[in-house]
A and B are shown apart, each in its own frame.
Chain A
Amino acid sequence: MAVLDRTIRRVLDRMRLSVRPRATANRQGSHRSPLKAQGVEFAEHRPYVAGDDVRHIDWKAFARHGQLVIRSFEEERDAFVHVLLDVTGSMSRGTPPKIEVAQKLAASFAYVGMRQFDRARVVPFADDLDELPLAVRGAQDLPALEKLLEAAEAAGPTNFAASVRALAARGTPRGLVIVITDVMSPEGWDEGFRQLGAMGHELRVVRIGCAEDLAPSFTGELELHDAETGERVRLRVTKPLLERYRAEVKKHLEAAREACQRAGGRWIEVDVEMPMERVIKRVFGGPVHKTAARGER
Chain B
Amino acid sequence: MTFAGLALSTIAAIAAAIGLTVLALYLLRRTPRPQVVSNVTFWMRAAQSSRPRFLRATKIPWIAFLLSLLVALLFVGELGDPRFGRGMRGTTVIVLAADRSMGAETGGERRIDRAVREVRRWVDRGTAGGRVAVVRAGMRPDTLLALTEDPSDLDRALVGLGLDDGPADLRAAIRLADRIITTSGDPGQILVVADRDVDEALETRATRVLVPVGMPADTIAIGDFTARRDPLAAGEYVVQVQLRSFSSREASARLQVYDGEVPLLDRRVLLRPGAGVSYAAQGFSAERADLTARLTSIEIAGSEDALALDDVAYAVVPALRPLTVLYVSRGNPYLEAALAVHPSLRVDATDPGSFSARSAEDLAAYDVLVLDRTPLPEGAQHAAAVLFSPPSGQLGAAGDADSPRVTAMLGSHPALRGVRLDGVRVRRALRFSLEPGDQVLVRSGGDAIAIARETPGRRTVAYGLDLGATDLVEREAFPLMVHQSLSWAASVRDEIPLPRRLGEPLHATDQTVLGPDGEPVDATALAVIRHQGIYRVGERAEAFSAAIHAREIPSGASAARFRTSDPLPPLAVLVAVALLLLMLLEWTLVHRGRLQ
Say whether B560 faces chain A, with CB atoms less than 8 Å apart.
Answer: no
Which residues of A lie under 8 Å from residue B33 when comparing CB positions? Answer: 218, 220-223
Asked if residues B34 and A225 are in contact (CB atoms below 8 Å), the reply is yes
Question: In the complex, A212→B61 CA distance in Å?
Answer: 26
Asked if residues A218 and B57 are in contact (CB atoms below 8 Å), the reply is no
Asked if residues A245 and B42 are in contact (CB atoms below 8 Å), the reply is yes
Taking A93-B37, A212-B37 as contacts, is the C-beta distance between A252 and B30 under 8 angstroms? no
Closest B residue, CB atoms, query A157: B39
Closest B residue, CB atoms, query A186: B41
- One digit per residue, 1 when the CB lies within 8 angstroms of any chain A CB and 0 when it does not, for chain B 539-579 equals 00000000000000000000000000000000000000000
Q: Which of A212, A225, A236, A247 contacts B57 (CB 8 A)?
A: A236
Say whether B38 faces chain A, with CB atoms less than 8 Å apart.
Answer: yes
Taking A186-B39, A245-B46, A248-B49 as contacts, is the C-beta distance between A218 and B34 under 8 angstroms? no
Question: In the complex, A213→B40 CA distance in Å?
Answer: 11
| Residues 206-264 (chain A) with a chain B CB within 8 angstroms | 212-213, 216, 218, 220-229, 231-236, 238, 240-241, 243-245, 247-249, 252
Most chain A Cβ neighbours within 10 Å, of B43, B57, B61: B43
Overall SS of chain A's interface: mixed
In the assembled complex, the CB of A175 is this many whole angstroms from the nearest CB of chain B, namely 29
Closest B residue, CB atoms, query A213: B38
Instruction: For chain B, give the interface size range.
Output: 20 to 34
Asked if residues A247 and B591 are in contact (CB atoms below 8 Å), the reply is no
Say whether A182 faces chain B, with CB atoms less than 8 Å apart.
Answer: yes
Which residues of B lie under 8 Å from residue A182 when comparing CB positions? Answer: 38
Asked if residues B30 and A90 are in contact (CB atoms below 8 Å), the reply is no
In the assembled complex, the CB of A57 is this many whole angstroms from the nearest CB of chain B, namely 63
Asked if residues A90 and B593 are in contact (CB atoms below 8 Å), the reply is no
In the assembled complex, the CB of A289 is this many whole angstroms from the nearest CB of chain B, namely 34
Most chain B Cβ neighbours within 10 Å, of A213, A222, A231, A252: A222
Say whether B45 faces chain A, with CB atoms less than 8 Å apart.
Answer: yes
- One digit per residue, 1 when the CB lies within 8 angstroms of any chain A CB and 0 when it does not, for chain B 25-62 equals 00001111111111111111111011000000110110
Closest B residue, CB atoms, query A247: B46
Which residues of B lie under 8 Å from residue A235 when comparing CB positions? Answer: 43, 47
- One digit per residue, 1 when the CB lies within 8 angstroms of any chain B CB and 0 when it does not, for chain A 75-104 equals 000000000000001100100000000000
Closest A residue, CB atoms, query B59: A236
Which residues of A lie under 8 Å from residue B47 when comparing CB positions? Answer: 235, 241, 244
Question: In the complex, A186→B43 CA distance in Å?
Answer: 11
Say whether A292 faces chain B, with CB atoms less than 8 Å apart.
Answer: no
Q: Which of A89, A90, A223 contacts B35 (CB 8 A)?
A: A223
Say whether B71 faces chain A, with CB atoms less than 8 Å apart.
Answer: no
Say whether A185 faces chain B, with CB atoms less than 8 Å apart.
Answer: yes
In the assembled complex, the CB of B54 is this many whole angstroms from the nearest CB of chain A, namely 15
Asked if residues A252 and B37 are in contact (CB atoms below 8 Å), the reply is no
Taking A184-B38, A186-B39, A236-B58 as contacts, is the C-beta distance between A222 and B32 under 8 angstroms? yes
In the assembled complex, the CB of B595 is this many whole angstroms from the nearest CB of chain A, namely 12
Asked if residues A236 and B61 are in contact (CB atoms below 8 Å), the reply is yes
Which residues of B lie under 8 Å from residue A93 when comparing CB positions? Answer: 36-38
Asked if residues B32 and A252 are in contact (CB atoms below 8 Å), the reply is no
Asked if residues A228 and B38 are in contact (CB atoms below 8 Å), the reply is yes
Say whether B233 faces chain A, with CB atoms less than 8 Å apart.
Answer: no
Say whether B70 faces chain A, with CB atoms less than 8 Å apart.
Answer: no
Question: In the complex, A184→B57 CA distance in Å?
Answer: 26
Question: In the complex, A248→B47 CA distance in Å?
Answer: 10
Asked if residues A244 and B50 are in contact (CB atoms below 8 Å), the reply is yes
Question: In the complex, A235→B51 CA distance in Å?
Answer: 11
Asked if residues B39 and A222 are in contact (CB atoms below 8 Å), the reply is no
In the assembled complex, the CB of B596 is this many whole angstroms from the nearest CB of chain A, namely 12
Which residues of B lie under 8 Å from residue A212 when comparing CB positions? Answer: 37-38
Question: In the complex, A182→B38 CA distance in Å?
Answer: 9
Say whether B590 faces chain A, with CB atoms less than 8 Å apart.
Answer: yes
Asked if residues A221 and B46 are in contact (CB atoms below 8 Å), the reply is no
| Residues 33-63 (chain A) with a chain B CB within 8 angstroms | none
Interface contacts beyond A185-B41, A221-B590: sample of 18 additional A-B pairs, CB < 8 Å, sorted by A: A90-B38, A182-B38, A184-B42, A185-B39, A213-B38, A218-B593, A220-B33, A220-B593, A221-B31, A224-B43, A236-B58, A238-B57, A241-B46, A241-B47, A244-B46, A244-B50, A247-B46, A248-B46
What are 6 A-B contacts with C-beta separation under 8 Å? A93-B37, A93-B38, A184-B39, A226-B40, A226-B41, A235-B47
8 A-B pairs with least C-beta separation: A90-B38, A223-B32, A245-B46, A244-B46, A184-B38, A244-B50, A226-B40, A221-B32
